[in-house]
Chain A
Amino acid sequence: MKKLIACILAVLLVVSAVFVLAACKPKTKPDFVIPEGGYDGSAVTITFMSSMGQDYGVILDEYLAEFKKLYPKITVEHKRGGDYDTNRDVIKTQLSNGQAPNLAFCYSDHVALYNSSKAVVVLDDLIASQIEQTRADGTKEILGLTEAQKNDFIPAYYNEGKSFGDGKMYMLPFAKSTELMYYNKTSFDSWELPVPDHWFATDGKQGLQTTDKTSMEYALAFIRDKDPNCTPLGVDSGANWLITLFEQFETGYTKSTEPHYLFDNEENYEILTTLRRWYQNRWFTTRSLLGGNTYTSSYFTSKSSNDGKKSYISIGSSAGAAKQVPTADSGANFTVGVTMIPQKEANTPIAQSKVISQGPSVCLFNAENPQEVVASWLLAKFLITNSAFEARYGAAAGYLPVIQSVQQLDGYKEILDNADTGLNMAGMAAKLCLEYKEALFVSPAFYGSSEARDQMEILLNGCVVVPNGTADAIRQGIIAKFRDAKAKCEY
C-alpha cells in the first residue's frame, strides 16, 4: 500500500509542476504606446492573416512587393486563413494562448470577440500621430492619416470602426459591400409592373386587392398570379433582411451597450406575421430555407419555374452582382434591373433610406515589440489609402472600395461610366453603392453580436414555418420563436 501512495504522490507532483508552468505564461500585455519616432527602421517580421481567395492573393502580393520597396526591413508573411469563420477560429485559438498575428482581416463581430482578451490595438493615437517617417526612396509621410486621407473614406464604412460603443477606433475598413435588389426587368416591363420601393401595403389590404401598387406585397401577389409555379422573391441572407427591416421600421434590433437585445417587441411580431403569410403563400424563399447550399441567385437566373425554382426579384449582396446575370448556358435571357432595396415608405429619399452594409475590415493586434505594431500600421495604411490597390481588389472580389478617390482613378472611372446591368454588372453595383452611401448603416458590434446575427436567421426560418391555425395560435407560435431567440442571445 505504501508504494501505491508514493506513486500517486509522484503523479500529483508532476501534474502540479505542469500546471504551475502553464499558469505563469506571460499573461498581460502592456497596452500599445507609440514608440518615440514611430518606426525606427529595425528589421521586423509581421504576419498578415487574410481570408482572401487564392486569386485575390496575387493582387495583394504585387502591392506587398511595392511596400517592400518603401520599407525593405519589414518582411510581411501573408497567411491565408480560409473563409471568414475559419479565419476567426484560427485567430481566436491563437489569442487564447497568448499568441496573435500582427494584422488580420476581420468583421466587427470578430473584433468584439478578440477584444475580450484586450488584444486589439486602439487606432486613434496612430491615426492622429504626426510623427514623420522617411521611406527608403527618401520620400516622407506622417505616421497617421492626413485630413485628406481621413475624409477620403466613405463615412459609413469609416465609422464602422468606432461602432463598439466606446467611441474608440479599433479597425480600418478594407472593402465593403451592401445589399441591392435585382429584378427581372423584361418581365416587369412586359407586365407594366412598377418596381416596388417599399415593403408593406399602406392600405393594409392583402395581395392583389391592395391599391398600393408600388408595395412589395402587391408586386409579389402580382408575379405569383402571373406565374403560379414561381417563387417571386429570393433573399440570399434572411438575417440581413430582418436586421434591415428592424432598422428601417426603427423597431429595434440590438445596440452595442447593455442591454443589447431590443428585437423582442410587438411591432416586430407584426412584421414577422406578414413575412410568414408571404412564405405560406410561397412568395419568397431564402438560402438557408433551401438548406444552405442552393443560392437564390440560381433561382433568379433559372429558365424554368417548375417546383418554384424560379424567382423574378433577388435581394443579395452587391459583391455577388455578377452572379445575378443569367449565363448563356442556363438558357434564360432577360435584362436585369438593379436598384435600392425597398424601404419603410414609398419614395424615401436616399438620405432617409437604410441599407445594411458589410465587408472585411483590418485590425491590428498587440505585440511585445511595439515596432511590429507600427510596421503593421504602416502596411495597413499603405494598402487601404492606395486607391489603385483598392480599385483592383474591389473589382476582382466584387467589393466596393472604401475610399472615394477611387472614382477619379482613370481605370475605375471607365468601370463606373459604362456600368450596365449586363456584363459589367459589378460596375453598376459599385456605382449604386457610391450613390447610396448616405443610406448605409452598420449593425452594432459587441461580444455576442455575431451570435445575434445567427439568431435572426433562425428566427426568420422559425417564424415562417409556424404551422397554420387561428391568428392567435400563429401569433403565439411567433412569440415563442422570438422568446427562444432572445434567450439564446442573452445566454
Chain B
Amino acid sequence: MVDSKKQWKAWLYLSPVIILTLVFTVWPIINTVRIAFLNDYTLMGDAGGMTFSVGVKNFQKVIQYPDFLICLKNTILLTVITVPISTFLALLIAVCLNSIKVLNKLLQTIYFLPYVTNTIAIGMVFATMFSMVGSGFGGADPYISTAGIINNILGVFGIEPVNWVNAGSTYWANMFVMIVYIVWNALPFKILILLGGLQSVNKQYYEAAKVDGTSRVRTFFRITVPMLSPMLAYVIITGFIGGFKEYSSVVGVFGEGMGPAGTEGTLNTMVGFINTNLMGKKPREGIASAGALILFVIIFAVTMLNMYVSKKRVHY
C-alpha cells in the first residue's frame, strides 16, 4: 500500500540529510578514491597545475613505508587489547553499579567525567603522571629518580621505578601507558550503554535465578551477559571501529613524534601514518588517501566479522 504520495513525503523529510551527506560525505569519499589512484598526487601540485598519471603507485608506496608494519601492528594491538578490557571492565562496573543504591548517582557521575574532557589535555596529564626526570635515560645506568606519581607509588611498595615514557623506555612500557589511557577514555561511553541495557532487563529473570539458587557468578555469565548481548555486540563493534582510528590518544601522551625520544614512531598508528602524509612536512594526499582506503577496508572487514560473530551468539 506504499502509495507514491507517502514515498514523496519520506524523501522530503530525508532531503536535508541526503543533501548534506552527499556534499560532505559522499563527495569526499569519491574524491578520496579518485586521489588514491592518481600516482604521487599532492594537493599543492594539483593547485600548481601538475598532472598525475592513474595507477596504483600510491598503494604500493603505502606498503613500502618503512614503518607501515609498525603502524599496522600498533593499531591492531591497541584495538585487540583495549576493546576487550574496557568492555569487560565496563560490564563489571555497570553490573556492580546496578546492584547498589547508596552512592549510585555520585559514582555514575564520576565514571562519566572522562567523556566530558579534552583528550589532548588529559593526555598531557597522563604523560606527566608516568614521566621520569633527570638526563640519564636510556644510558647504561640511567638515573632512577622519578617525578612521575606512578613510579612514586610503586616506590611505596618497594618496586623499582619503571621508565614508562621517557627516552630509552621499552615498547611494552609505552604500550602499557597507552592501554591504561585508552581504556580510561573508553570506559564512560561503554558504562553508559551497558548500564542503560541492564536497566531494561526484566527483573523477574533475576528473581527466578535467585529462587533456583544460582550463584552470583553463574547469574552474571548465564543471564546478565546473554540478556545484554545486543548492547555488548554494539559496544564491541563501535569499540573496534574506534580502536582502529586511534591517534589523538597517542599524540596526547607522546606528542606528534608518536613515541618516546630515541624511539620516535614506534607507537605510530595507521591514522598517524595518514596524518603525517596529510599535515606533515612532506604532504602527499595521494598516499594519505590510499592509506585511508586500506584502513577503511580493514575496518569494514573486521566489522563484518564482528557482525557475523554477533549474529550467531547474540540473542535478540
Contact = CB atoms under 8 A, between A and B. Distances in A.
A117 B66 contact: no
Interface string A58-102: 000000000000000000000000000000110010011110000
A299 interface: yes
Interface string A266-285: 00000000000001111001
A95 B44 contact: yes
Given A96-B44, A282-B139, A28 B49 contact: yes
Nearest to A308: B135
B280 interface: yes
Contacts of A98: 47
A475 to B, nearest CB: 17
Interface in B123-138: 127, 131, 133-138
Given A291-B261, A447-B282, A27 B135 contact: no
A96 B35 CA distance: 14
A259 to B, nearest CB: 16
B135 A282 contact: yes
A280 B137 CA distance: 9
A19 B255 contact: no
Interface string A304-317: 00111100000000
A96 B23 CA distance: 19
Contact of B135 (A116, A299, A462): A299
B209 interface: no
Interface string A92-125: 1001111000000000010001101111000000
Q: Which of B30, B64, B264, B282 has the most CB of A within 10 A?
A: B282
Interface in A418-456: 447-448, 450-451, 454
B242 interface: no
Contact of B261 (A27, A28, A461): A461
Given A19-B27, A28-B49, A309 B135 contact: yes
Contact of A109 (B42, B134, B257, B281): B281
A288 B61 CA distance: 29
Given A292-B255, A448-B282, A308 B143 contact: yes
Contact of A282 (B47, B136, B283): B136
B48 A491 contact: no
Interface in B45-89: 45-50, 61, 64-67
A487 interface: yes
A488 interface: yes
B127 to A, nearest CB: 8
Given A14-B22, A96-B46, A117-B44, A19 B30 contact: yes
Interface residue tally on A, bucketed by range: 35 or more
Given A291-B261, A307-B145, A461 B167 contact: yes
Contacts of B43: 96-97
Contacts of B48: 27-28, 116-119
Contacts, number: 146
A280 B168 CA distance: 11
A289 B7 contact: no
Given A15-B30, A288-B261, A454 B136 contact: no
B140 interface: yes
B45 A116 contact: yes
A451 B167 contact: no
Interface residue tally on B, bucketed by range: 35 or more
Interface string A458-481: 100110110010000000000000
Given A117-B47, A491-B65, A451 B282 contact: yes
A1 interface: no
A290 interface: yes
Contacts of B30: 15, 19
Given A11-B26, A307-B143, A484 B44 contact: no
A288 B43 CA distance: 31
Nearest to B142: A282
A289 B135 contact: yes
B226 interface: no
Interface in B76-120: none
Contacts of A140: none
A447 B145 CA distance: 43
A5 interface: no
A289 B44 contact: no
A468 to B, nearest CB: 6
A3 to B, nearest CB: 7
A18 B135 contact: no
Contact of B279 (A28, A89, A113): A89
A231 interface: yes
A15 B283 contact: no
Given A15-B22, A309-B135, A97 B47 contact: yes
B283 A92 contact: yes
Contacts of B166: 291
B262 interface: yes
B263 interface: yes
Q: Which of A118, A279, A281, A306 has the most CB of B within 10 A?
A: A279
Nearest to B30: A15
A452 B232 CA distance: 47
Nearest to B2: A3
A258 to B, nearest CB: 15
B214 interface: no
Nearest to B29: A15
Nearest to B167: A289
Nearest to A491: B65
Nearest to A366: B48
Nearest to A25: B47
Contacts of A484: 66
Contacts of A290: 135, 167, 261
Interface in B15-52: 22-23, 26-27, 30-31, 34, 42-50
Given A308-B143, A462-B263, A116 B66 contact: no
Contacts of B143: 307-308
A464 B131 contact: no
Contact of A3 (B7, B50, B262, B280): B7
Contacts of A458: 257, 264-265
Given A28-B49, A92-B44, A113-B44, A19 B31 contact: yes
A305 B166 CA distance: 20
A127 B291 CA distance: 44
Nearest to A22: B31
Contacts of B49: 27-29, 118
Given A280-B139, A458-B265, 5 more contacts: A117-B47, A447-B282, A450-B281, A461-B263, A488-B67
14 contacts: A15-B26, A15-B27, A95-B44, A97-B47, A114-B44, A119-B47, A282-B135, A282-B136, A285-B135, A289-B137, A290-B167, A292-B257, A308-B136, A464-B139
Shortest 6 CB-CB contacts between residues of A and residues of B: A117-B48, A96-B43, A465-B138, A28-B49, A117-B44, A307-B134
